[in-house]
C-alpha cells in the first residue's frame, strides 16, 4: 500500500508539472503525436489542425438536438464491482445513452485516500440526445439506484460515474466541469480514456477531444507523461479480465487451454472422447499436465465438416459437461465451450461453463452475441471467412495483406460484439490459424501478431490490448513443414509454434498436448520477462 501511495504521489507530481505547463494553449494542438502505446516505433501521423471548441457557463440542448458523443468514466471499490459495472451499463442504456465502445477493465490502487479497497475502473464511449446537465442528473440517479450515498470525498463507493467529455464542449458551471478537471493527474482515468481513442488520428471528434486536453500531444501525451503502458501490470494499475468470480491478469503469464473434442470426426482425435468416462479421463490428464482452461467442443469445425444442429450438439455436450463440472480437479480452472450456437452457449453457461469460444464470431448464429452479453461471460471471437464448408475455397484464401485483413476482420467482429453489449473486458481475439488461410498465411499471422494489434490500435487502442488466443495445435501447415502426416506426431512442431506465438504477443494458447505447451509457455514467459527488464 505504501508503494502504491508513493507511485501515485510521483504520478501526480509529474502530471502537475506537465499539465498546461506553458507547453501549448488549449487550441495550439500542433504536431499531435499519436504514438501507439505498445511500441515506440510508430510514426506520428503529422500535424493536426487547430480546433475551435465551445465554452459555456450555462449549457442546454433542446430535446430534438443531434446526438452528442460522450465519454463516461466508471469506478467502484465496494461490493461485487464487476456486477455493479454490468448493472450501471444496463441502466445507462435505458436512460438514453447508446454505448458504442468500452475501454478495458483496470484494477487500480486507491488514490488520495489510500486506506481503502482497490478500485475497478473503466470508461465507455457513446452517444446521447441528453443535454450535459440532464445527463449528469441521469448518472446521479443511477449511482443512487445502485446504492451510492454521501460519504468521504475520494472514499469508498459502490459506483462512481463521471462525464469526462461531452461533444467538443468546454463546460464550467457550479455543478459540472467538462472536460473533467482531474483527468490529467489520474492514470486510472487516462488509461480507460485512451483505450477509447484510435492512433490513426482520422476520427474528427477524437482530434477535437485531444485539443481539449490542454496539451500539445493530446491525451496520449498526458498518458505517456504519467508512465503510459509501462505502468500497466504494476501494483498501481493492472489490466484485467472478469472470468467467473475472479479477475484475471493475462499479462502475468501465458494461459494454456487444453482441447477436449467430443466429436467422431475432428482431424486430430475424433472419436476418442465421445464416451463420458473417456472424456473425464482426458480432462483430468489435461489438468494434471498444467491446463488453465478446458475447452470442450461437441461440433467439428475442420474443413468440410457436416454441421450439427444445436440439439445434436447439446446431446453430445451436456452429459460430459455435467460430469466435468463435478470433478474436484476443476477447482480453480476455467471451463470453455466451443460453439457458435446461442442455444448451446446459454445451456453451457447454465451448467457451469465460464467462457464461450465461437469460431464464427457471431456470423453463423448472430443471436449468440446478445445471449453472451446477457450471460456475462468472456467471449472468444475468431477470424474466419465463410464457414467450415467454404472457408478453404479459392475466394476465401485471397489476401493482399493477410495481417492487415485479419486485423480488419477481427475488429469488425469485436465491434459487433461490443454493440451487442459484450464489453471489451470480456472479449478475447483469435486470428484463426487454419481457418480460411493457406500454410504460408498461417505463418505470416503467427509472425505478425504485433502488427495485427497495431493495426487494430489505429481504430481503437483498447482493441489492441485485449487478450489474443492462438490455436496452432497439430494443424496441417505444421505437418507440411515437418513432413508429419499424422497429426499426433506434430506436438513438437506445435510447441515450437506456441513459443513463437507467445514471443510475438499471444496470451492464451489452445493445444491438444498440454505438457509440451506448458513447458514452451514457461520458457517463453521467462524470455519475455527478461526483455522487459
Q: 499 near 518, Cβ under 8 Å?
A: no
Beta-carbon neighbour count of residue 56 at 10 Å? 15
Return d(Cα 532, Cα 79) in angstroms, integer. Answer: 35
Give the helix ranges, DSSP H, for 19-127. 81-93
List the one residue out of 515, 363, 370 whose CA is nearest residue 432: 363
DSSP 44: P
Burial letters 404-415, b for 16+ CB under 10 A, else e: ebbbebbbebbe
Alpha carbon of 270 to those of 3, 80, 286: distances in Å? Answer: 53, 42, 17
Residue 523, C-beta contacts closer than 8 angstroms, at least 6 positions apart: 499
Closest CA to 88 of 189, 193, 160: 160
At residue 257, what are phi and psi to the nearest 5 degrees? -105, 120
Q: Is 510 a catalytic residue?
A: yes
CB proximity list for 190: less than 8 A, separation 6 or greater: 183, 184, 219, 222, 223, 226
Nearest partner of 19 among 163, 218, 205, 167, judged by Cα: 218
Residue 105, SS3 per DSSP: strand
Question: Which one, of 133, 236, 129, lies nearest residue 191 by Cα?
Answer: 236
Pairing of strands 246-248, 237-243: antiparallel
Query: What's the distance, CA 106 to chain centroid?
Result: 11
Distance of alpha carbon 425 from its chain centroid, rounded?
4
Q: What is the DSSP string of 320-386?
A: HHHHHTTSGGGTT-EEEEE---HHHHHHHHHTT--EEEETTTTSS-THHHHHHHHHT--EEEE--SS
Range list of β-strands (E), 417-517 = 427-430, 469-470, 508-511
Which residues partner with 178 through β-bridges? 171
- Residue of 138, 157, 208, 475 marked catalytic: 475
Adjacent-strand bridge partners of 119 = 108
- Confirm whether 475 is a catalytic residue: yes
**286 vs 280: CA distance, rounded Å:** 10
* Closest to 150 measured CA to CA, from 158, 180, 136, 81: 158
Report the relative pairing of strands 169-172 and 54-56 from DSSP bridges. parallel
What amino acid positions are annotated as catalytic residues? Answer: 475, 510
Amino acid at each position: 500500500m505504501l508503494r502504491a501511495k508513493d507511485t501515485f504521489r510521483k504520478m501526480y507530481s509529474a502530471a502537475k508539472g506537465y499539465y498546461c505547463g506553458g507547453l501549448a494553449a488549449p487550441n495550439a494542438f500542433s504536431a499531435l503525436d499519436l504514438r501507439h502505446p505498445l511500441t515506440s516505433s510508430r510514426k506520428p501521423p503529422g500535424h493536426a489542425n487547430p480546433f475551435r471548441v465551445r465554452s459555456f457557463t450555462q449549457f442546454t440542448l433542446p430535446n430534438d438536438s443531434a446526438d452528442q458523443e460522450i465519454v463516461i468514466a466508471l469506478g467502484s471499490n465496494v461490493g461485487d464491482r464487476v456486477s455493479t459495472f454490468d448493472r450501471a451499463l444496463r441502466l445507462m442504456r435505458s436512460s438514453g445513452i447508446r454505448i458504442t465502445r468500452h475501454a478495458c477493465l483496470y484494477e487500480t490502487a486507491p488514490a488520495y485516500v489510500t486506506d481503502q479497497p482497490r478500485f475497478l475502473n473503466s470508461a465507455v464511449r457513446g452517444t446521447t440526445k441528453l443535454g450535459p446537465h440532464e445527463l449528469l442528473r441521469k448518472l446521479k440517479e443511477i449511482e443512487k439506484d445502485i446504492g451510492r450515498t454521501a460519504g468521504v470525498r475520494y472514499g469508498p463507493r459502490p459506483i462512481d460515474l463521471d462525464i469526462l467529455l461531452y461533444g467538443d464542449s468546454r463546460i464550467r458551471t457550479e455543478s459540472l466541469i467538462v472536460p473533467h478537471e482531474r483527468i490529467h493527474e489520474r492514470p486510472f482515468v487516462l488509461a480507460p480514456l485512451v483505450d477509447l481513442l484510435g492512433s490513426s488520428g482520422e476520427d474528427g471528434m477524437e482530434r477535437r477531444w485531444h485539443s481539449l486536453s490542454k496539451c500539445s500531444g493530446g491525451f496520449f501525451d498526458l498518458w505517456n507523461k504519467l508512465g503510459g503502458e509501462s505502468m500497466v501490470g504494476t501494483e498501481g494499475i493492472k489490466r484485467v479480465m472478469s472470468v467467473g468470480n475472479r479477475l484475471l491478469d493475462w499479462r502475468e503469464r501465458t494461459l494454456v487451454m487444453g482441447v477436449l473434442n467430443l466429436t467422431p470426426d475432428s482431424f486430430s482425435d475424433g472419436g476418442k472422447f465421445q464416451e463420458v468416462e473417456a472424456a473425464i479421463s482426458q480432462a483430468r490428464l489435461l489438468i494434471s499436465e498444467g491446463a488453465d482452461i478446458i475447452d470442450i467442443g461437441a461440433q467439428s469445425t475442420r474443413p468440410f465438416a457436416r454441421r450439427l444442429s444445436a440439439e445434436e450438439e447439446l446431446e453430445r455436450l451436456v452429459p460430459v459437461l455435467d460430469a466435468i463440472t463435478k470433478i474436484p480437479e476443476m477447482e480453480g480452472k476455467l471451463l470453455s465451450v466451443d460453439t457458435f450456437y446461442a442455444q448451446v452457449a446459454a445451456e453451457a453457461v447454465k451448467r457451469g461453463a465460464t467462457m464461450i469460444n465461437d469460431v464464427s464470431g457471431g456470423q453463423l448464429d448472430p443471436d449468440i452475441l446478445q445471449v453472451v452479453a446477457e450471460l456475462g461471460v468472456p467471449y472468444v471471437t475468431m477470424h474466419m471467412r465463410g464457414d467450415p464448408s467454404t472457408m478453404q475455397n479459392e475466394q476465401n484464401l485471397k489476401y493482399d495483406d493477410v495481417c492487415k485483413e485479419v486485423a480488419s476482420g477481427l475488429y469488425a467482429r469485436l465491434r459487433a460484439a461490443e454493440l451487442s453489449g459484450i464489453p471489451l473486458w470480456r472479449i478475447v481475439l483469435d486470428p484463426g490459424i487454419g481457418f480460411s488461410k493457406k500454410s504460408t498465411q498461417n505463418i505470416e499471422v503467427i509472425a505478425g501478431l504485433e502488427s495485427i494489434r497495431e493495426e487494430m490500435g489505429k481504430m481503437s487502442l483498447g482493441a489492441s490490448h485485449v487478450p489474443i488466443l492462438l490455436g496452432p495445435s497439430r494443424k496441417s501447415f505444421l505437418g507440411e513443414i515437418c513432413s508429419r502426416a499424422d497429426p499426433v506426431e506434430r506436438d513438437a512442431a506445435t510447441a515450437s509454434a506456441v513459443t513463437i506465438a507467445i514471443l510475438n504477443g499471444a496470451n492464451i494458447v489452445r493445444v491438444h498436448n498440454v505438457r509440451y505447451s506448458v513447458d514452451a509457455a514457461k520458457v517463453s514467459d521467462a524470455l519475455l520477462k527478461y526483455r522487459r527488464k
